[in-house]
A and B are shown apart, each in its own frame.
Chain A
Amino acid sequence: MNILRLLLNNFLGGSITTRFPNRPPADKGFRGLVRYDPQICTGCGVCAYRCSSRGISFRSSRTAYTWAYDPGQCTYCGRCVDGCEAHAITQEAAPPPLYYKRDELNLAHTTQRPLPPPKKKPEAAPATGEAK
């Protein structure tokens, strides 16, 4: 008979459902898409080293380095964010968007390395958000 009381309370309590297109807000520490700031990045590549699922790849040569990110591969663990000494990597506090093709959300940034002796300051990075 307990269950009947429960059902009655449920019925009188009304629905607790979130209506469809509305979504409950993400919690404060939500780990969403990884964002990268090429201005701050020092090019150490520790994010690629720490990535648990190879979502971040880091290719570097003498003159330039490329930081690439595949959200499809990402497990949203936040290890790259924790490991980034310069805080160039952050995570959005919103759930990642749906996508319809593989590699649709991929990002890649190429940054020129500063030439060793003459220039001291790193060049402004061409922040190109084009798909890989």
Chain B
Amino acid sequence: MNATTALLRMLVFPGILFAAPAAWFFLWIERKAMAALQQRIGPPFMQPFFDFVKLMGKQVPPREGLGGFLMKLWPVLAVAASAGAVGLLPVIPRSGGFPGDLVLLLSLLELPSMFIIAAGFSSRSLWGELGSSREAILSVSYNVVFLMAIIGIAASQHTFSLQALAQSQGSPLRWLGVLAILICLPAKLHMNPFSVTNAEQEIYAGPMTEYTGHELALWELAHGMEWVAATGLVATLIAPPLANPWMAGALFVVLSVAVVLVLTIVAAATARLTIDDSVRFFWRCALAFAVLGVSSVLLMRIKL
């Protein structure tokens, strides 16, 4: 992968230029599916795009000093990080990649939630700080499970390259890992039942309480791209290897949308857990699951 292809992947496909419409589309699918499950019509087509444009045209109150600068900075960084994460996805097989890009993808996926924590604290709003501390506690809990699941999968295939993971056959252990990842995704994407972070209405809008206008628009975009990246990661792991690149790309998109639908059904079927319960869930149930996965992978390697 040389510099031009890297740039192309970052900026055009599947980076920003592709990821932004995909983000809006995924957010729309999520809202529409939620509406369909509740016997509603739901938002018109591409509603998140109009939300984005409207927010871009809204005034932002004057913010001064370092705090104001940081409040402008965090959403931009979050968009950059999640766009980078989307750019790493092997949507079309054999389109390049490098050993260890899985590690980079994981860190880029983790960055937006860090920025959200920082954003809540720098907005100096009580509700923002409350939301940020919740996000911090939650991300400490789910990330252990998430990373363990990924490590288990990677270790079972002896590789940290997304390309190789996408090409290899799935094993039962991989499915265990994918299940663990799916359990963590609602927490990563602030969906029910782990939506304590932004807990709409309960603590106003959590870390986003003070953000308006283009800042909020960028946050929404970053959130949508996180959706694309996270569901794309799962799609990479579960997609069977196909020879035809177009077929593979189409399958990738279909699988991502399917993951979105699964997450939406989970969100529609559950209610918000309190922060104690979510953390307890991750440390007690999901962690056992992930430890089981990783240890069995390691044991298998010893036997080999």
Contact = CB atoms under 8 A, between A and B. Distances in A.
A52 to B, nearest CB: 34
> Which A-B residue pairs are the 9 nearest by beta carbons?
A17-B41, A3-B269, A10-B39, A7-B37, A15-B41, A16-B39, A15-B39, A17-B40, A10-B37
A4 interface: yes
B36 interface: yes
Interface residues of B, number: 11
B268 interface: yes
Contacts, number: 26
Interface in A53-92: none
For the residues of B in contact with A, the DSSP-based class is helix
Given A17-B41, A19-B41, A11 B269 contact: no
Given A7-B265, A14-B39, 6 more contacts: A10-B38, A11-B36, A15-B35, A15-B36, A17-B39, A19-B41
Interface in A1-53: 3-4, 7, 10-11, 13-17, 19
Given A17-B41, A19-B41, A4 B36 contact: no
For the residues of A in contact with B, the DSSP-based class is helix
Contacts of A15: 35-36, 39-42
A11 B37 contact: yes
A4 B37 CA distance: 10
A1 B38 CA distance: 16
Contacts of A3: 269
Contacts of B269: 3-4, 7
